[in-house]
Structures are given as C-alpha cells and as structure tokens.
Amino acid sequence: MLYALCFLLFMIGLYCAVVKKNMVKIVVGILIMEYAVNLFLVMLGFRTGGIAPIIDKTQFDAETGRIAASFINSSVDPLPQALVLTAIVISLGSLALMISLCIRTYEKYGTFDITEIRRLRG
Amino acid sequence: MKGMTIIVKTISSWVKVLIILFGIYIILFGHLTPGGGFAGGVILASSYVLLMLAFGGEFVKKDLPLSLVSKLDCLGAFMFILIALLGLVFGGVFFANFLFEKYGQPLHLLSAGTIPFSNIAIGLKVGASLFLVIYSLSICCKAGELDSH
Amino acid sequence: MSIPLPVFIAIPLATAFLLPMFGKRGKDAATIVANLATISLLILAIGCIGKSGVYEIGKWPIPLGINLVLDGLSSLVLLVISVVAAAVMLFSAGYMEQYTAKAKYLSLFLLMVAGMNGVVLSGDIFNLFVFLEIASLASYALVGFGCGHEELEASFKYTVLGTIASIFVLFAIGMVYGNTGALNMAYISKAIQSSGLNAGLSFALALFIVGFGLKAALVPFHAWLPDAHPSAPAPISAMLSGVLIKSLGVYALARVVFNVFGVSLEVGWLLIVLGILSMVAGAFLAIGQWDIKRLMAYSSISQIGYVVLGIGLGIMLLARDANPAWASLAILGGLFHLANHAVYKSLLFLTSGSIEMATGTRQLKEMGGLARRLPFTRTANAVASASIVGIPPFSGFWSKLILVMAAVQAHYYWIAAIIVFVSLCTLIMYLKVQRYVFLGELPENLQDVEENGGSMLVAMIFLTCLCVLMGLIVLVPGMRNSILEPAVRVLTDGLKYSDIVTAM
C-alpha cells in the first residue's frame, strides 16, 4: 500500500516534469521524482518495531560468540540509508546545476517559459 | 545584498566562532562519535552562509577570496584520493587502511588509521564546495555552473 | 592481476582536482598534465587487453564491499574510451584556446572520463549508478560550457532528460534490491536465477531499458542528443557521441540484460525494434539537416541503432536457442561497430570543429571549396566518411558486413536489407557534407582560411590512421582473439557471469 503511494508520488513528479511549461516547475517535478525514489529506498529497509542496526556487546550470543539471531531478525536494514544518503548528495549536485542553468537562461532570454525558449529546432 | 542591522552583525560574528569550532569538532571526532567529514563540512559551510546573510555578499568576498575557497575544495578532494592511493602503495589495496592498528578508541584522536584523515579531507571538500554552490547561486551564479561536482 | 584496477578511476579523478590549483598562469602546465593523464590511461588500457580479474576495494570481501570487475567486455570499452579520450584531449589542447576557463574545462573532461571508466569497471550496480551520475553531471556542465543562448537551452534539455533517466535507473536499482536483497551484480544474477523473474523484477528491467535507452539516445528517447551535440564545444561533441552514449547507454544496457537478468525473446525483439527505429529515423532526419554538427548528431543516433540492433539480434538468437555461432556473430558485429563508430564519429566531430574554427560557421550553405584550403581536415573527413558509409577497405565496412552476415544466417533478410538501405542513406548525407563543405566554389569571405596546426592536426592524423587500420582487428585472428572475442564471450556466456565473478 505504502509502495503504491510512493509510486503515485513518482508519477506526480514525472507528470509535473513532462507537462509543465515553466523551467523552475520542471526542476521541482524532477525533485519530486527524486524524493519519491529516495522514500521508496528508505521504506525497503524499514521494519515494523525494528531496532537500530548498531552492534554492541549485548547483541552477541554468549555461547557461539556470534551476532545473535534475534538482532539480525529485528534490526532495520542500514544499506538503503547509505544508498539514499549518496543519492541525496548526487541530487544536490544536479539540483545546483539545474538551478544555475535556469538562472543563466533567464538572464539570456528573460523568461522561464520553455515554449518561448526555442532557438534549436529541426 | 547589503547586510542586516548592527545587532545581527555583532551576534553572528560571535556565533561564527562557535559554529566553526563545532564543525571542526564534528570533523575531527568523526570516527568516534556520530558525524564525520560530511556533516562537519556542512556545518562549516553554514557558518559562512550565516556571515553572508548578515554582512552581505561583498563582505564575504573581501574576507574570504573565492579562488582560495575553490582551491581548498580541490585540495580536499585531492587529499582524499591521495589517501586512497597511499593505501594502494603501502597497504597493497586501494583504500586500504594502512595505518590501522585497532578500531576507534574513545578519546583517542589518532586511532582508526586513515579514517580521521579522510574525514578532514571530506570536510574540506564538502564545506568549500557547498559554500561555493550557495554563494555562486546567490549572486546570480558568476561561477556557478562548474562547482556542482 | 598486475594492474590495480582503481587507477583507471583514480588517475583522472586526482588530475581533475589537481588542475584548478595551477591557477590562471599555469594553463599550459595544466594542459600538459591533463594530456599525460589521458595518455597514461591509454597505455594502461592497452596493458589490460586480454586480462580479467576482480578487485575488492579496501580488502572487503565481495558481498560486503565494493568490487571492480575487469572482463573482456570491460576491457574493450575501456580501450575505446581511452583511445578517444587521448585523441580528443590532444585536440582540445589547441581547440579550447578560444574559451576562457580552460582549466575548468580540462577538469570537467577528466571527471567525465573517470565516471565512464567507473561505469565500465564497476561490478556493483549502485556504484554503476554513482559513476553514471558523475559522468553525466560533468557532461551536462560541458554541454553548456559556452554559456550562450543555444548552449544553455541545449544543456537544460539534456540535464532534465538525463536526470530523469538517472532517476529511472535509481528506481530500478531500488526494485532490484527489494526483490533480491543484493547490490552486487553477480549476486543479483544468482538470486534471479534461483527465484525467476517476478513482476517487480520485470518492471525493474523495463525501467533499466528506459533509463539506459535515454542515456544512449535510442529513437523514442533521442530528443536531447541533436541539441546537445551541436551546442557543445567540438571535442566534447566527439566525446559525447564517441563514447559517452556508448559506455553509459549501450554498455550498461548490455551488461544488465545479458549478465544480470538473462536473455529473453521479448527483450531481444524490443532492442531490435528500437535499433531499427533509431537507424531509419536517425538517417532520414540527418539527410535534411544544414548544420554540419547537427547532421552528424542525427547520424550518431542512426549508428547507435546498428550497435543496438546487433546486440538485440544476439539476444534474440540466444533466447531462441539458435546456433550460438550466429548469436556471437551478431554480437561481434554490434561490438565491433561500437568500437568503429567511436573512432570515426569522434574523428568526424573533430574535423567539424576544425572547420568551425577555421571558417567561424557551421552552416553547410555558407561553406564550399575548402578542399584546397584545409587539405588535412579534408583527408581526415573523407576517410571517416568512407568509413561510416562502409566503403570496403575501411573499418565501417567490416562491422556492417558482419551484421548483414548475421542477419542473413538467422534468415532475417529484411533486417539485412534495412542495414544496407540505411548505409545508402548514410552515403547520401556524407556526400552532402563533402559536396557543400569541400567541393564547389570558395565563398569570398573564406578566401584566406588556414589549417589549424599543432596538436589538433596530430589528433586528427592519429584517428585517421586508426580508421584505416581498425579493419585489422577483425581480420587478423590474433587481434580478434585478444580484443573482440573475449568481449563477445562475456555476453554469450550470459548468466555464467556470476559464477565467473564469484570464482575469481
């Protein structure tokens, strides 16, 4: 169910990026898509009633000396969080680039409307 | 940008010291406590963003030459790769922790091998580049396009 | 493993961050250092031919850590990237003098090379995404490097479509991770083999095809390419068209389809249809263009169609359990065409840059009779054109011949007919270039144009020689066995990839 909502958010972003005529709105649409995917990744690692995936001394099994099975079964998956952190940094980079392109284009053309920015054709 | 009132200016120049100190603490103790190069770098950058808001863009330009910031940015990234390459030379594997003796010890700054040095490099890189991105976007991107790596 | 694989990423990355520190006065030093970096990469890539290995970064074992994988396919694409990067870097030493921020250009260029090398070597699907983004971000900035009206518009278009493609890829990676619990490509492939394709994984495969298809500019997704390529500085057009769309698009697509998900009939037909659409539509659109670089950009779409067609034919034949020799022939044709196209299309774009620098225009109608004024550029352009059209002794002929042979042996005569027909269209468009640029009357204002000497000339001569000699790679058995055959074997082995990687 939650995944479906995530997908809905993704589609809203895609719609916004494809349909809108304003450059800034296109950038916002792309960001919505980006966050929908990030949300999806975080939700993959989520576990109801999970514990933080930090290993300390209490988590070791006394007999075998290994990490206790109960810890493995109840801790949330830390990997998607690392993935999302990386993805957020990358999206920060592309966001900065897109915004600076928008500003530059506005300086040159005096408008954000992509239907009026059409020198390249054919 | 002209800057704000004298009250804001005075307070932010006091607070600046604390924020920078906190950022340095987060970077240096990154391997022992929560935080690290990235978080500390963001805090460092935010201290200068605060100054920029309070005093206006021209002040930052005088106080902190942009070419120096972009050199620090490159230096940070270069240091990080250098540490990784040193791992290849001394440890035999790329990114090998060649100074490693034992895991991070609480209150021992020089534990955990190369990790604190990597943290410093990342802190420099993130702090400088984030500041550059915000600064250049705020002044209608004079050099903005190229800083987003 | 004699060559530590991370140096392919570390050398360009370290140089990229070193260059801006030279400052304004050290421009010549920066150029020399950048050229040294690309040439050393070329030497290392030649050293990697015929080798294979897995490299675990930071000594972490495979399922836990990040690994780099070198196999036949990687080493082929790595070689292509290094050759083109070295030649283009040499060319830009002379060409980029007309721009102000040369150190930043060199730095972004090396960043792009680092990203592409990373995509090719990565054995971990999330790392592939990260490197893909590094290369794409650098290329977005490079397309808009001139900061003029057209550059900014093209760069914005490219950035939007490229970012959407990256988000699709990231979404697909999330789906794959949710379904298999692995990020290492070998382990994903194992998990898919044991569980089979479910709905989520099929959706992920579709997302991958769309995402990488956008990066490769296949026809329904090609809108950004004809704008981005002409607007970029000529060396960057050569890089984008020569290797970026291939390493980010075709290589990643082939890797994911063959080695991770496994071949299936539907994917094979889909790629064949996309390939044929790209070939035909690209060729038709190219004939009508009057901007020399725009014409070449559309021709790139048409040529990337050949590569995807070869790969798709291979997938289809493998999935139908037809004679494996035919499948490997089709894939061989596709991959050889990839390497050929990288060389001659970058040469064509370099000559267009040389023409633009000499005459100051890109419009075909404003030029003419330049054959006497620019003899070297003319020769290079003629050789590259002959090559792309497929005139027998040159390289393009052999790859097209192999594709036609594969199509005929698989009894798809109509595919063979389309390949020959598109070649004729290519002949028309490059005859048009020859006619309007080099033959005919020399206009008044172009009476005193002169050839640009120095490094630009060396780069063009280097690529021209390669164009003539590339045919040897497929004709001489020794070279074929060491360069092309391992790459084909990686793809025809398909899902055995996971066993090979985990065993190494």
Residue A103: list chain B partners with CB under 8 A.
137, 140-141, 144
Nearest to B88 among C6, C23, C56 (CB): C6
pLDDT tens profile B81-92: 888 888 777 777
Q: What is the mean pLDDT of residues C86-112?
A: 86
CB distance from A117 to chain C under 8 Å? yes
Q: Is residue C1 part of a domain?
A: no
d(Cα C238, Cα C219) in Å, to the nearest integer?
20
- DSSP of A42-59: HHHH--TT-B-----GGG
In sequence order, the β-bridge partners of residue C184 are C124
Q: Do A104 and C130 touch (CB under 8 A)?
A: no
What pLDDT is attached to residue C363? 84
Please name the amino acid found at residue C74.
Answer: S
What range defines the domain where residue C256 resides?
Answer: 7-503
Chains contacting C with at least 3 CB pairs below 8 Å?
A, B
Chain C partners within 8 Å of A122 (Cβ) = 226, 288-289, 291, 294
Which comes out higher in pLDDT, residue C24 or C487? C487
pLDDT, tens digit, for every residue of C352-374?
A: 988 888 888 888 888 877 877 88
Instruction: Please judge whether A44 and C170 are an interchain contact, meaning their C-beta atoms are less than 8 angstroms apart.
Output: no
Smallest CA–CA distance from A96 into chain B, residue? B148
**pLDDT at residue C208 is higher than 90:** yes
CA nearest to A44 within chain C: C178
Domain boundaries defined on chain B: 6-148
Cβ–Cβ below 8 Å for B144 and A93 = no
Q: Is the pLDDT of residue C98 over 50?
A: yes
- Of C96 and C13, the structure prediction assigns the larger pLDDT to C13
Of A86, A94, A120, the CB nearest to C227: A120
Condensed to tens digits (0 to 9), the pLDDT of residues B52-81 reads 888 776 666 676 677 788 888 888 888 888
C434, pLDDT greater than 90: no
Read off the pLDDT of each residue in C71-85 and give the average, rounded to a whole number: 90
Q: How confident is the model at residue C273 (pLDDT cuts 50, 70, 90)?
A: very high
Report the range of poorest mean pLDDT among B131-145, C159-173, C409-423. B131-145
Q: Are C23 and B67 in contact (CB < 8 Å)?
A: yes
Q: Could you give the CA distance from residue C52 to residue C67 in angstroms, rounded to a whole number?
A: 13
**Inside any domain, residue C279:** yes
Q: What is the pLDDT of residue C423?
A: 92
Residues ≥6 apart with Cβ < 8 Å to A120: C150, C153, C154, C226, C227, C230, C231
Q: Distances in Å between the alpha carbon of C380 and those of A82, C257, C292, C345, C457?
A: 49, 37, 15, 11, 10
Query: Residue B112: which pLDDT band, with cuts at 50, 70 and 90?
Result: low
| Inter-residue contact B2 to B54 (CB < 8 Å) | no
Question: C344: which residues sit within 8 A by CB, 6+ positions away?
Answer: C384, C387, C388, C395, C396, C463, C467
**Residue C318 reports pLDDT greater than 80:** yes
Residue B141 to residue A103, Cβ atoms within 8 A: yes
Instruction: Give, as one character, the DSSP assignment of residue C259.
Output: I
**In this complex, which of B91, B94, B146 lies closest to C141 when CB atoms are compared?**
B146
pLDDT at B106: 64
Residue-by-residue pLDDT tens, chain A, 122 positions:
778 888 899 999 999 988 988 888 999 999 999 999 999 988 887 777 777 777 666 666 666 666 666 676 777 778 888 889 889 989 988 998 898 888 888 888 877 887 777 666 54
User: What number of C-beta contacts closer than 8 Å exist between B and C?
Assistant: 65
Interface of B with A in 53-72 (CB under 8 A): none
| Count of domains forming chain C | 1
On whether residue C28 sits in a domain, the answer given is yes
Instruction: Give the best residue of C147, C150, C160 to mutate against chain A (max A CB count within 10 A).
Output: C160
pLDDT tens digits, one per residue of C36-72: 999 999 998 888 887 888 888 777 777 777 888 888 8
Domain ranges of chain A: 1-46+70-122
Residue B97 forms contact with C (CB below 8 Å): yes
**pLDDT of residue B143 exceeding 70:** no
Percent of chain C with pLDDT over 90: 30
The whole-number average pLDDT for the span C130-149 is 88
Would you state the pLDDT for residue C422? 92
Q: How confident is the model at residue B103 (pLDDT cuts 50, 70, 90)?
A: low
Q: Is B149 on the interface with A (CB under 8 A)?
A: yes
Element (H, E) at C284: helix C265-287
- pLDDT at residue C486 tops 80: yes
Confidence of residue C210 (pLDDT cuts 50, 70, 90): very high
pLDDT value for B142: 45
Give start and end residues of each alpha helix (H) in C288-391. 292-319, 324-359, 375-389
CB contact under 8 A, C177 and A44: yes
CATH class assigned to A1-46+70-122: mainly alpha
Q: What number of other Cβ atoms are within 10 A of residue B101's Cβ? A: 10
- In this prediction the pTM is 0.91
Nearest neighbour of B93 by CB, restricted to C21, C58, C138: C58
Domain membership flag for residue C2:
no
Q: Is C227 on the interface with A (CB under 8 A)?
A: yes
Partner C contacted by B85 (CB < 8 A): yes
Whether residue C462 contacts residue C90, with contact meaning beta carbons closer than 8 Å, is answered with yes
Share of chain B above pLDDT 90, in %: 4
